[in-house]
Chains A and B, each alone.
Chain A
Amino acid sequence: DTAVSQTPKYLVTQMGNDKSIKCEQNLGHDTMYWYKQDSKKFLKIMFSYNNKELIINETVPNRFSPKSPDKAHLNLHINSLELGDSAVYFCASSQDIYEQYFGPGTRLTVT
């Protein structure tokens, strides 16, 4: 059983489009995160939700909007995609502030 899953694994789209990435965890964790890994492989947190409540909202453009319908899901919606949004996006989960478990990543390519 996959602990943290993301769909899709690959996403290729054109500038200006709107897209969503879905994340689900079956670990029973109460906290979920979105991270971005850029072309230089640097990982940086974008958002975190604890019990469906937004906790961390880093300096991310308003075009990015996370949505947590329940504790097991945290989706990322991106409006008006730009070339600079091309990256690998990772979802993660943890119980409170403990060990974080990562999903396999979604490679987004904006052309």
Chain B
Amino acid sequence: KQEVTQIPAALSVPEGENLVLNCSFTDSAIYNLQWFRQDPGKGLTSLLLIQSSQREQTSGRLNASLDKSSGRSTLYIAASQPGDSATYLCAVPPDAGGTSYGKLTFGQGTILTVHP
């Protein structure tokens, strides 16, 4: 059974800092890894998706890396801003079809607060 863990559970930083959020998963047989952002009372916004064959993906100030064999991913946020404050979630689907098709297993998230 896949388990996804995110560390730290919460993080508070001053504006401008670079920061790293961590995600680990127990079963390396994943199809891809997706990072999401959730604002309070809102839905999930997809930030980055890394295919299992890729090592990293970049979008603006965000960079996500994937080490599938060790079961780890990191989300790097450069020059953080107060608008980055949100909960960040990582999720993985299994590398299998059938009844597991597209089944995302989520971590519990990292609550990020960036203060001015």
Residues of A within 8 A of B (CB): 4, 31, 33, 35, 40-45, 48, 50, 55-57, 90, 92, 94, 96-105
Contacts and interface: CB of A to CB of B under 8 A. Distances in A.
A90 B45 CA distance: 12
Contacts of A105: 42-43
B44 A42 contact: no
Interface of A is mostly: strand
B99 A55 contact: yes
B43 A97 contact: no
A34 to B, nearest CB: 12
B49 A55 contact: no
- Give the residue among A4, A40, A45 with the most B Cβ atoms within 10 A: A45
B43 to A, nearest CB: 4
Interface string B96-116: 000111111110110000000
B102 A44 contact: no
Interface in B70-104: 87, 89, 91, 93, 99-104
A90 B102 contact: no
Given A100-B46, A101-B46, A104-B42, A41 B87 contact: yes
A43 B43 CA distance: 11
Most chain B CB within a 10 A radius of its CB, from A4, A43, A50: A43
A97 B102 contact: yes
B102 A48 contact: yes
